[in-house]
Amino acid sequence: MSGGTLRLGRREFGEHEQVVMAIVNRTPDSFYDQGATFQDRPALDRVARAVDEGAGIVDIGGVKAGPGEEVTVTEEIRRTVGFVAAVRDRHPDVVISVDTWRHEVADAVCAEGADLLNDAWGGVDPLLAEVAARRGVGIVCTHAGGAEPRTRPHRVAYDDVMADILAVTVGLAERARDLGVREDAILIDPGHDFGKNTRHSLEATRRLPEMARTGWPVLVSLSNKDFVGETLDRPVKERLLGTLATTAVSSWLGARVYRVHEVAETRQVLDMVSSIAGHRPPAVARRGLA
């Protein structure tokens, strides 16, 4: 079980290193950017900017998470595989993650240099973890409450939401390890909004220490999500402050990787929390020294 260094691709992230994962949507209908990075040039520009702003991981997705137009396996591969190859060529050291639940897509992107499979739908395709093991890449094990891909929660209920999250994510992580995925390349994700209402996502956030105590590194995907919008009654484009507040709390409570739209702002929040916690020195030290 890996509570220490996280090793993905060519990168090693120490136990106290807070890692930004930049979202790069290869979809024409994404909920936040409405297709801004669907075409290759703006998507490559987005990757370059994210790396410059401090992202250690870029997460490439070819299918919108929510309901919408059907995207076949063939189309998802078309949207992602060539782009992964292009990013790998331009950014040899960045960790490339691909957000997919399909093993066929996973195998194709790994052949072009992907380092991490972000399985946001909680192991709905059990062959995905087998691809990760065979290809020698990492995997994100997410709690989605048993929801089918691209569906929204409806009157979902849990006796204890965190108990369910732990049972599912730890179970998926242990299965991945037993299949041959390296322990230091496996992450667990509570799956904010996925198979959950807003109260579930808020509870999952305040109980993140229970996930951290498992020893598996915790990834949180908070950026501009509905639970933030409902908590503050703000539309999608006005959720940054709520997202950053949740990011700071999650960092303090033990999360290690943050999947986000706004890289620079997130990087500053994480650096500040790390410095308060004593894991990072101030960037400059002048006050009271002259």
Structure tokens at 25: 């949507």
Average confidence score pLDDT of the chain:
96
β-pairing verdict for 57-61 and 95-99: parallel
pTM exceeds 0.75: yes
Provide mean pLDDT across the span 188-197: 98
Cβ atoms 168, 196 nearer than 8 A: no
Where residue 2 falls among pLDDT bands split at 50, 70, 90? very low
Q: Where are the alpha helices (DSSP H) in 195-262?
A: 198-206, 208-212, 226-232, 240-252
Domain ranges of the chain: 17-264
- Residue-level pLDDT at 30: 82
Provide mean pLDDT across the span 172-199: 98
Q: CA of 262: how far to CAs of 32, 60, 72, 217, 258, in Å?
A: 11, 15, 29, 22, 11
116-134 confidence digits (pLDDT tens): 999 999 999 999 999 999 9
* CATH architecture entry for 17-264: Alpha-Beta Barrel (3.20)
- Give the closest residue to 98 by CA, choosing from 8, 195, 162: 8
Least confident of 26-30, 78-82, 117-121, 246-250: 26-30
Where residue 3 falls among pLDDT bands split at 50, 70, 90? low
Structure tokens at 62: 């070819």
Least confident of 26-35, 68-77, 148-157, 246-255: 26-35
Provide mean pLDDT across the span 135-142: 98
Where residue 260 falls among pLDDT bands split at 50, 70, 90? very high
- Give the closest residue to 107 by CA, choosing from 133, 145, 79, 88: 133
51-96 confidence digits (pLDDT tens): 999 999 999 999 999 999 999 999 999 999 999 999 999 999 999 9
